[in-house]
């Protein structure tokens, strides 16, 4: 069975758009239950990204109070080795602007992919593959280059047989 690794946009878009806490508390409960069952996690750098917002919003409170133990550490040798390989790949891709390469090396996305590669996770993201992208290095583009599976929230919910209602 697949294990799923959640990108920051899974949390942020759900909170801001279609699964806000007041409309769909079952979504957030399902994430906790999936994590408790060992089926999904995220990483420390996504946790930092969620906590980087100034406001004390509901997502930040939930991440700190309800989900914090399921943000895995990226501080291990296998992740560092995968990160180095992924960054070397990105730097050597002439398709991407230098600014995209610099950004990619400094955000959680590169670490998320490295963790997935090192620990055999399927990345869950709302980003979509784009063969012609130049201004950003997208998660699906890197995942394809390294044969790392990736899906979106709705595909993950189906694979986990989660019903919200």
Rg of the chain over all Cα atoms, to the nearest angstrom: 16
The CATH number of domain 4-159 is 3.40.50.360: no
5 pLDDT more than 90 = yes
Helix and strand element counts for the chain (H, E): 9, 5
Taking only the tens place, the pLDDT of each residue in 68-111 is: 999 999 999 999 999 999 999 999 999 999 999 999 999 999 99
pTM flag (> 0.85): yes
Q: What is the pLDDT of residue 54?
A: 67
CB neighbours of 16 closer than 8 A, spacing ≥ 6?
Answer: none
CA 72/CA 43 separation, integer angstroms: 4
Q: pLDDT value at position 163?
A: 86
Report how far residue 49's alpha carbon sits from residue 146's, in angstroms, rounded to the nearest whole number: 24
Going by pLDDT thresholds of 50, 70 and 90, the confidence category of residue 165 is confident
Residue with tokens 């899974």: 10
The domain spans of the chain are: 4-159
Dump pLDDT digits (tens) for 14-53.
999 889 999 999 999 999 999 999 999 999 999 999 999 7
CA distance linking residue 105 with residue 88, whole number of Å: 10
Bridge-based pairing state of the strands 122-124 and 71-72:
unpaired
């Amino acid at each position: 069975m697949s294990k799923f690794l959640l990108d920051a946009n899974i949390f942020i878009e759900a909170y801001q758009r279609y699964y806000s806490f007041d409309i769909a508390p079952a979504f957030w409960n399902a994430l906790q239950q999936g994590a408790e069952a060992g089926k999904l996690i995220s990483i420390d750098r996504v946790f930092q990204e969620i906590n980087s917002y100034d406001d004390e919003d509901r997502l930040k409170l939930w991440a700190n109070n309800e989900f914090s133990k399921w943000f895995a550490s990226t501080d291990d040798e296998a992740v560092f080795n995968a990160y180095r390989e992924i960054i070397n790949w990105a730097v050597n891709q002439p398709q991407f602007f230098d600014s995209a390469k610099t950004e990619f090396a400094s955000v959680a996305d590169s670490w998320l992919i490295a963790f997935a590669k090192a620990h055999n996770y399927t990345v869950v993201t709302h980003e979509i593959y784009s063969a012609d992208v130049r201004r950003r290095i997208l998660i699906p583009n890197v995942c394809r280059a390294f044969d790392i599976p990736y899906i979106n929230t709705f595909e993950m919910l189906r694979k986990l047989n989660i019903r919200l209602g």
